Structure 1
Amino acid sequence: MPTHPPSHWQVYMFVRECLDKVIPAELWGSNHNKCRFLKNVKVFISRGKFAKLSLQELMWRMRVNDCMWLRLGKGGHFVPADEHCFREELLAKFLYWLMDTYVVELLRSFFYITETMFQKNMLFYYRKLIWGKLQNIGIRNHFVKVQLRPLSSEEIETIRQKKFVPVASKLRFIPKPNGLRPIVKVSGVVEPQALSRESREKKMNHYNTQLKNLFSVLNYERTINASFMGSSVFGKDDIYKTWKQFVTKVLESGGEIPPFYCVKADVSKAYDAIPHKKLVEVISRVLKPEKRTVYCIRRYAVIMITPSGKAKRLYRRHVSTFKDFMPDMKQFVSQLQENASLQNAIVVEQSLTFNETSSSLFNFFLQMIHNSILEIGNRYYLQCCGIPQGSILSTLLCSLFYGDMENKLLSGIQQDGTLATGIPEYGLLINPNKTVVNFPVDDIPGCSKFKQLPDCRLIPWCGLLLDVKTLEVYCDYSSYTCTSIRSSLSFNSSRTAGKNMKYKLSAVLKLKCHSLFLDLQINSLRTVLINIYKIFLLQAYRFHACVLQLPFNQQVRKNPHFFLRIISQTASCCYAILKTINTGIAEGNKGVSGIFPIQVAEWLCYHAFTVKLSNHKAVYKCLLTPLKVCKMQLIRKIPEDTVALLEAVADTSLCQDFKAILD
């Protein structure tokens, strides 16, 4: 970035100076009350994107009796309980207004507040003058990268006269380590002043409904015909399924694992370079508008209770054709239960429509892609090439587009340098600075700038580290380098903060314990142990981040058994997931328990927490001794050869990437 934003401390000092000028000392009642509020301001500024500051925190340790303006008269006469509660309510209203209105609006008026691409959920505060200059640079660069044509008032009027709803998207930027990433968000109808509010809302609702229907139908078609996507995968579940099939095939062939030549290529301006004409051809082959297929779109709601005891509502769409349509709701729910592991939930049908056809959806797509309008400043621009990032369709359209390219041009190709020279028909150009290979390529035209790692076993890809010698999979923790765990972990503190901490840690643990890392059919025991140890070590960092955010001076030493129980449940939860993933694996008649007894998981967990918490002995002194005692007891139950393996796995040299984490 050309310049750095002010630190949270500098932003806090600015707010403090403003408060000193506006709020008289008498209104605080005492210096104690003022300091308590300012401390909460500091906490509020430093919290992440999704964090909240409760009213209970705002009022904690505030002295109502210090405020003379809340008293009925002079003297220390007896105050009834209901009168004191009334005074507390008045003070709470004042503090809430001061934080929610004055402080928040002050920050909004002087700073542009944004997340970044390199610090998870942490918020950065840019002075508006500085951000304006950065934004102008971003807009100029965007004009260079993306084909934008300014629209005249006559053209806008012509677009408005069409039956299609002309929708404009606003452009915003998210800071990256070396620039700005453009993101668009549909903001409203073009020329909204020409329409009433009710008419604008009606048109936007109609547009959003069609957009969601198109997204659902495209997803349905790519599920029915997986070849549309080529090798594209969506998330770790898809990667695991595909990778396991590949590894199993290699291992079943017998003999040594052959050498693999790997290329991790990055498409330059992947979204912005997609030619509209070619994209229309691709989507036409997916939807087949000439067949006028009728789609049934069922909208339904799922209501379930989360582990924390709260009701959660999910609104979903299900697409089918007359061939696979299920009119009976009971039959539909049974299928959901089989395919989506739907348990302990209520399913409510909202609507059932047969109004969408492949031709109508394709026409909507044409109108949308040919009328992709960006609002920049006070002007409207037509995007002539590429698809905007930020839409729910963006990733799916991109995958379908490059899937078509793969099927047409790359299937069975053997010639070197194909990707390096680019594919103009699809607007594809490889970014050499982000391309990695594990073999020499100097003699291949256009490949001299590629990063060559001929002796490297681990190739980074999509948050994973793939071992090209053994085909084992590790998690890549490099994205946590120089980041704050607190900013990546949304933690809403309240009077039940301990309970929230327990469920939050449990939820994030389950996300990390993925089959890619714990499956003993594709990973060796040593690799699984390394993966589990690093999962526990990251969990220890998250544990510490939650403890730092506990409100009301809730300290570990006041209830050590509660926190030890969280650590113990971390080990048992991970082990339960490990056993589920490896169901059916057996060594003799012992199964997973023989290969990997629970004592191993417990020792790895306690050791990982000991390593992290030892860096903060003043806070966790009451936990460290019990953890060390448990480790000593466990080591006696583990075979000597396994103990040696555990010590090797927990070697600090294997966890260097954790040392760069900020907290």
Structure 2
Amino acid sequence: MDGGQPSGSFSSSCPPFHTGYFSGCKRSYMQSSCWHQEDKHYQLGSSNTISQSISAPTPTLERNSNGKLEKSIKFVTELGKRSRPFRWQRERKRRLLDPGNSCNLIPCTSICSGKNTLHGKSPSQLSAQSCHSHKCIGSLLLQPRKNIAEEVYINRKSMFYNLDCSPSILRRGNVLRSLKPNHAGSESLARHIFGSYDAIGNTPSALFFCNSGTCPFGLNCLYHSLIKLLKVLIRRSRNCQYVRLMDKHCGVASLDQIPVGNSSSMFECHGSELDIEVGEDACGFDIKQIKNSLEPIDPQFAAKFYCPKSQVVSFIWAVCRSIVPADLLGTCSNWRILRRNISKFIKLRRFENFSLKQAMHKLKTSRFPFLSNKLSLCCQNDEVSNSMGTKVMHEGYSMQKEAVCIMKHNLMERWIYWFFSHLVVPLIQAHFYVTETEFGKQDVYFFRKSIWEKFTKSTITNNFNDKGYRNLNDSAVRNILASRSFGFSKLRLCPKENGVRILANLKAYSRMPTEEFYCKDGQSRGVRVRKKLHKFDYYKPVNYVLRDTHAVLKGIKLKESELLGSSVFDYGDVYRKLRTFLLGLKKAKASMPDLFLVVSDVSNAFDSVDQDKLLDVMKNVIVKDEYHLKQSYQMLCTTKTSWVHENVMLTDPNISPRCASPQFHSLHCVNVNQELSRSVQKKKLFSTLYEHVKRNVMQFDKKFYLQGSGIPQGSVLSSLLCSLYFGDLERKVIFPFLGRVIESRTNDLSVRQDCLDISVSRSSNEGKIISNPGYMLLRFIDDFLFISTSKQLATHFLSRLQRGFREYNCYMNERKFGLNFDVGNTSGLVSKRVYVCKDGISFLRWSGLLINCHSLEIRADYTKFLNKHLNSSLTVCWQGKPGHHLKAKLCDFLRPKCHPIFFDLNINTPAVVRLNIFQSFLLCAMKFHCYICHLSYMCKLRGDFLLNIILRSLRYMDVLIKNRMSSIQLESLPRPRLHLENGEVEWLGLNAYIQVLTRKQARHSRLLSLLKSKLFAHRLVGRVSSDLIYAVDSSHSSLLWQIKY
């Protein structure tokens, strides 16, 4: 053999080529060739295997392989078989030789090296021969691999809110359900796993299939071994007993033991199996028997019957072990790693992503038997001929080994991606209803489909039928939708601790089938197949059509705020009203008088609104015949995405453009100066409002309902309509009542002094009350806060709320009253919303605030974090650059509680101002610890890097406080007051992190030493004020130290 021959030539023991194929190629050398007749005397274990590509001159090839060819021809003659291939073989060969068919199954016995050129051939010469060569696994999976594994995500969205209950393992469109356990089905599944994902590869992959009739490696090649394994996978998936595995790993109380109706007893839900007979279908149960056995579950108990995530992981892994062959799952060490990665996937919170990199974390190709070196990859040369001892040969061999490693990794990527996307996710879809809950924050909960169906039945009985929801047939729905431009909303259920909340999606388009007809779909064995088709009418989202009405009501809110009564919509509104009230109290008296507080909440506020009464109220709100609107656009761009935001505003000379226009506090926002003006008639506004309130069509579980009472939750108008409704109640009932109470007791000296000579005046039409600071009423949508200097006035207000308001169908929730005083036999109400710290100070909880019952000082309410671990409030990002994500998260953690209401000295003392800053840092430090714990299994961040991002967040908080205090807009003096020395915010932040991380010092020893060094070198060391000492005293933050982190 010529010493210049590269490693890509045939050795002397190369198996014979089919003579027809060889002559048809006209002695041209192909980059990929595997058309040969299998020699039964050819041994797979031989050291002389197929080389990478043919590149030797023709005479050398004939001289070295002549004897072998003669032997092959003699062998065929002795068999007495036809030498011409069968028709299906010729058709396959024709398809594979078609250069335009790049996505077919490509025969492969050679693998491309790093340089895809043959020895002695230029690229241009090779291109001339490309008509006979095809891309194989080497050219597709050995491409220079991009860093795309971090960008490929397992789609979790399809898991959530899926109500379909199928008697099969998987949904109708899943590939495993449509295939049969034969060779064709296995090939289709192999193509689906390894050849169809553009998200993983650069191009639609052709697969590494051999010509199965002539493969030199027999059943030990990768193609044959995979076909065999996938055939087993398909067969097992059809015969697995899923329900029995579910009962074993996710056992719940028997269906006949689950509370039904109005049962008040509580049952344990661990260890017992589902009382269902096993049917004879492929999946091991009869879905009809389950449906017939279902009785409604009492909604107050339904939230207790979710499956713990550990049980879900156990079930998924049991099914995977039952149906997936062991060679595809890997060795025992891989089992542990793969199960742990499945557990990570199941335990993700609502808005977290799961990348392919996380799915493959710590998995190794060497631990997958189907990728191990025991099997030939139809491309390897285990030993190179001694005659090829040149430097070029050794370089080519090393590049070949590298290419094989890349191919193995790419194959594993495709397999793991398919395993999670098309097996784990469909298993969850088929057997669990996945949702978040109100009590679980961002955590995800898994309910068995049978349990959720009982829960749904109970909800329809208790909430739909009992609250005036009326069933509609399709024709009635079409009649309603025909007269308007927007469609209907889709409902879903969100469990609460003691019931369920019905949520409506009014942002999505909706469609309704208009007619049914049949068309021919083909003929099969003389039977004509007719397929039923639908035409659909598509409708705009409800919220999109309501944007004009929303703009008008927002403008009226700014122009005529008295129509909303005591409504507040954010911390800014509370701050302005509370600050004015406190300044009036301090101005009237030298010392703070005794204060009496009442907190209450309307029961089922949105669902109890009287629709006819609401429309009557709106007639006094929308009074003009025509309103003028201005439409503009804002372009928002971020590093991940960009979108256009449409703004519709009411144009009125009495409304400040700055107040009317939405403000996007972002450097990535660009205002587009292309404003459009239009007008909207009062008649059209009322028509839209009437359709939205009185003819609100909802779809739940493929059935339609008409809402008979209340207003839809999830609408852009909901909060405004509710505020106007209760504002009318206050102006016409509550304020006149308080005025009569004060007037009837004008002879009582104590009342007259407590109320500070409250002057009451009625407007002629609306019963509006104007008072000096003797009492204050605030309402956040449906949550009331009443503050008075008179106990008698507070007592009368409480009694009036307890009676309710029949004309408005408004009644208070008895369990959510809160007082700071005793009222005869109602003293039991005091403990409902009162929180007492370890330092003895009592607070009333209201709308995210802790209000001091004696001084009205304001702190942030962190009690919502007490019942759950702090992990449930996080959304962790492992992708991209986790350290940079953490840097942004620390700022996000600080921003919500950074408002002038916590820092203004007109409301709080200097010590409480610093305490509020310190508590914000405490919570941020706790979240920081939880975030680091979640990141630790994927990456480790250095202590100096963590110190830098902590110090950056402390500086951010310092600047943000000052900016927020200076940007607040007030109509009256004095201005907000803030007195913080330079370095105080940083000192408070360092102390907060040290106190939090000291309790977890085993994990943060290096970071703690850096933080302490920074604190000891701080400028305030040696001159710490008493206010700072008060702030860092743990007794004043006892609430936060009860949080689990």
> What interval of TM-score do these two structures reach, taking the shorter chain for normalisation?
0.7 to 0.9
Which residue of structure 2 lines up, in the alignment, with residue 112 of structure 1?
Answer: 433
Q: Which moved more, 1:109-118 or 1:344-353?
A: 344-353
**Within 5 Å, which residues of 2 pair with 1:287-298?**
287-288=622-623, 291-298=624-631
The CA distance in 2 between the partners of 1:521 and 1:343, in whole Å, is: 32
Which residue of structure 1 lines up, in the alignment, with residue 547 of structure 2?
Answer: 212
Residues 30 and 391 (structure 1), Cα distance of their counterparts in 2 relative to 1, 3 Å cut: same
1:106-128 Cα shifts (integer Å, max 9, x gaps)? 11211111111112111011111
SS of aligned partner of 1:287 = coil
The CA distance in 2 between the partners of 1:192 and 1:436, in whole Å, is: 51
Amino acid at match of 2:504: V
Match among 836, 849, 865 for residue 480 of structure 1: 865
Which residue of structure 1 lines up, in the alignment, with residue 719 of structure 2?
Answer: 395
Cα distance, 1:412 vs structure 2 = 4.7
Q: Does 1:575 align with 2:958?
A: yes
The CA distance in 2 between the partners of 1:16 and 1:6, in whole Å, is: 15
The CA distance in 1 between the partners of 2:479 and 2:835, in whole Å, is: 58
1:280-308 Cα shifts (integer Å, max 9, x gaps)? 012222222xx331432414133244xxx
Residues 333 and 430 (structure 1), Cα distance of their counterparts in 2 relative to 1, 3 Å cut: closer
SS of aligned partner of 2:439 = coil
**Within 5 Å, which residues of 2 pair with 1:382-531?**
382-414=706-738, 415=741, 416=796, 417-442=799-824, 450-451=829-830, 457-531=842-916
Amino acid at match of 1:383: Q
**Within 5 Å, which residues of 2 pair with 1:339-378?**
343=667, 345-348=669-672, 352=676, 354=678, 356-378=680-702
The CA distance in 2 between the partners of 1:571 and 1:522, in whole Å, is: 24
Identity %: 26
The CA distance in 1 between the partners of 2:345 and 2:626, in whole Å, is: 53
Structure 1 runs not aligned, ≥5 long: 327-331, 586-590
Cα distance, 1:92 vs structure 2 = 1.7
Cα distance, 1:524 vs structure 2 = 0.7
Cα distance, 1:42 vs structure 2 = 1.0
SS of aligned partner of 2:877 = coil
Structure 2 runs not aligned, ≥5 long: 1-299, 372-376, 384-396, 517-532, 742-795, 969-975
The CA distance in 1 between the partners of 2:427 and 2:665, in whole Å, is: 47
Match among 284, 294, 316 for residue 619 of structure 2: 284
Which residue of structure 2 lines up, in the alignment, with residue 168 of structure 1?
Answer: 488
Which residue of structure 2 lines up, in the alignment, with residue 620 of structure 1?
Answer: 1004
Which residue of structure 1 lines up, in the alignment, with residue 980 of structure 2?
Answer: 596
Root mean square deviation of aligned Cα: 3.3
Contact 2:511 2:536 in 1 (8 A): no
The CA distance in 1 between the partners of 2:514 and 2:405, in whole Å, is: 51
Q: Does 1:49 align with 2:428?
A: no
Which residue of structure 1 lines up, in the alignment, with residue 645 of structure 2?
Answer: 315
Amino acid at match of 2:811: L
Match among 314, 318, 321 for residue 17 of structure 1: 318
Which residue of structure 2 lines up, in the alignment, with residue 239 of structure 1?
Answer: 574
Amino acid at match of 1:471: L
Which residue of structure 2 lines up, in the alignment, with residue 255 of structure 1?
Answer: 590
Q: Which moved more, 1:371-380 or 1:129-138?
A: 371-380
Match among 566, 573, 587 for residue 949 of structure 2: 566
The structure that is helix-richer by fraction is: 1
Amino acid at match of 1:185: N
The aligned length equals 636
Cα distance, 1:156 vs structure 2 = 4.0
TM-score w.r.t. the length of structure 2 is 0.57
The CA distance in 1 between the partners of 2:820 and 2:349, in whole Å, is: 39
Which residue of structure 2 lines up, in the alignment, with residue 588 of structure 1?
Answer: none
Contact 2:365 2:408 in 1 (8 A): yes
Residues 411 and 335 (structure 1), Cα distance of their counterparts in 2 relative to 1, 3 Å cut: closer
Amino acid at match of 2:995: V
Contact 2:858 2:902 in 1 (8 A): yes
Amino acid at match of 1:633: A
Amino acid at match of 2:441: K
SS of aligned partner of 1:508 = helix
Cα distance, 1:257 vs structure 2 = 1.8
Q: Which moved more, 1:596-605 or 1:475-484?
A: 596-605
Q: Which moved more, 1:339-348 or 1:427-436?
A: 339-348
Cα distance, 1:538 vs structure 2 = 0.4
Q: Which has more radius of gyration?
A: 2
Contact 1:122 1:487 in 2 (8 A): yes
SS of aligned partner of 2:811 = coil
The CA distance in 2 between the partners of 1:166 and 1:304, in whole Å, is: 30
The CA distance in 1 between the partners of 2:802 and 2:811, in whole Å, is: 7
1:49-92 Cα shifts (integer Å, max 9, x gaps)? 01111223233433234445454448597435555444433322
TM-score w.r.t. the length of structure 1 is 0.87
Cα distance, 1:213 vs structure 2 = 2.5
SS of aligned partner of 1:561 = helix
Amino acid at match of 2:1006: C
SS of aligned partner of 2:737 = coil
The CA distance in 2 between the partners of 1:48 and 1:450, in whole Å, is: 36
Which residue of structure 2 lines up, in the alignment, with residue 303 of structure 1?
Answer: 636
The CA distance in 1 between the partners of 2:943 and 2:1023, in whole Å, is: 31
Residues 622 and 273 (structure 1), Cα distance of their counterparts in 2 relative to 1, 3 Å cut: same
1:126-179 Cα shifts (integer Å, max 9, x gaps)? 11111222222222221365222333566445435x422573333322121222
Residues 106 and 660 (structure 1), Cα distance of their counterparts in 2 relative to 1, 3 Å cut: farther
Contact 2:987 2:1015 in 1 (8 A): yes
SS of aligned partner of 2:454 = helix
Residues 193 and 84 (structure 1), Cα distance of their counterparts in 2 relative to 1, 3 Å cut: farther
Cα distance, 1:373 vs structure 2 = 2.2
Contact 2:596 2:819 in 1 (8 A): yes
Cα distance, 1:467 vs structure 2 = 1.4
Greater relative contact order, per chain length (Cα 8 Å cut-off, separation 6+): 1
Contact 2:835 2:843 in 1 (8 A): no
